[in-house]
Amino acid sequence: MAPANRRCHPLTSEGPGARLNGPMDLFLTLDAGGTSTRAIVHTADGVALGYGVAGGGNPTASGAEAVARELRTATASALGMAHVSPGQVTQALAAMAGSAVSIAGVEEGLETLGVRAPLQLGSDLEAIFASGTASLDGVALVSGTGAAAVVVQGGTTTARSDGRGWLLGDAGSGYWIARRVIRAVTADLDRRGPRTALTDALLPAAGVVGDRNTDKDVLLDQLVALLYAIPAPGTARFAPLAFDLAGTDHVAARIVDDAGDKLATTVLALHSADRSVPLVAGGSVLFRQEALRTRVAGLLRGSGWSGSMHPVSDGTVGAICMNLRSSGVIVDAAMHPRIVQSLHEIRAPRP
């Protein structure tokens, strides 16, 4: 979730498509997340013609080559579904975390498909923001594997809080929650910490054979072997256990509450943010866990935050908006929901 070198065209007062060469010019929008990568072929009106999805594409976690490969796969699917010539794509934008280092590799991959439009790089956090609102000013708060918040002004990031990865930060993220779960279970088995239902949930989820009546050293030796084999942010997969049990288990409830506190603190540290602007809440953890969003919203309201909260599943709508805006299309409050609807329809399973 590092800031990206985005080529940002100024918005103009011309109408939709005014700066395009012709009515058949098409857009390719890519959205690379940690767990999946999406490609959309769409018109200047934001009508989705083709959609493709492939594997994870976070350049810091899986390497630039893997990102380029997944983006190419998703693009091939989207072009195939749209039944259009790759040469018709005149505008391409990829929203992703990390720096622009990998853009050449992605461009090469697209060229092998016949896409010759220059590729712009956009920030994944700005894309999540633009997915939730047509406003160009507001705040995005993300909690997925990692966690961060940004202030967006005029469509561009002007301040940032957290998002420094599993060691330095990402407070309230999936990794942060999962690490708390893992340590609570270890302390429970050692009787250094309170008894928690997280133990009976984590042991089978991690692949440990035996229940808590088994000798604790046997269980812990297995847990050590299994968990250290997962690269650091990957243990975030166990975060949902805390949400599953938060209604009935004190330890799980405390972890979820603390995650909410951390995320609210991350937003409130953005001192330059106007507290009446919209707040877009994204990332897999924040999108899926309504209880977490409710806690964050309550804490923000208690601190004088009056802006509305808009949950989004990913940054794909926002990446489309960024792609359109960079060629002069005005994406306003009337057009934004049409993009959401068009993407929703093309993503829906077909008979």
Contact residues: a second copy, CB under 8 A: 2-3, 160-162, 164-165, 167-169, 171, 179, 182-183, 186-187, 190-193, 217, 220-221, 223-224, 227-228, 232, 235, 265-266, 269, 271
Nearer to a second copy, 164 or 275 (CB): 164
Nearer to a second copy, 4 or 329 (CB): 4
Nearer to a second copy, 46 or 169 (CB): 169
Tell me the closest approach of the beta carbon of residue 262 to a second copy, in angstroms: 8
Q: Give CA–CA dist 341/337, Å, rounded.
A: 6
Tell me the closest approach of the beta carbon of residue 288 to a second copy, in angstroms: 24
Nearer to a second copy, 91 or 173 (CB): 173
Q: What is the 3-state secondary structure (H, E, C) of 299-334?
A: HHHHCCCCCCEEECCCCHHHHHHHHHHHCCCCCCCC
Tell me the closest approach of the beta carbon of residue 115 to a second copy, in angstroms: 32
Tell me the closest approach of the beta carbon of residue 269 to a second copy, in angstroms: 4
Residue type, 152: V
Q: What is the 3-state secondary structure (H, E, C) of 141-187?
A: EEECCCEEEEEEECCEEEEEEECCHHHHCCCCCHHHHHHHHHHHHHH
Three-state secondary structure call for residue 32: strand
Backbone φ and ψ for 83, nearest 5 degrees, come out as 50, 50
Tell me the closest approach of the beta carbon of residue 186 to a second copy, in angstroms: 4
Q: Which residue has the tokens 């994870």?
A: 56
Pairing of strands 48-55, 36-42: antiparallel
Nearer to a second copy, 39 or 227 (CB): 227
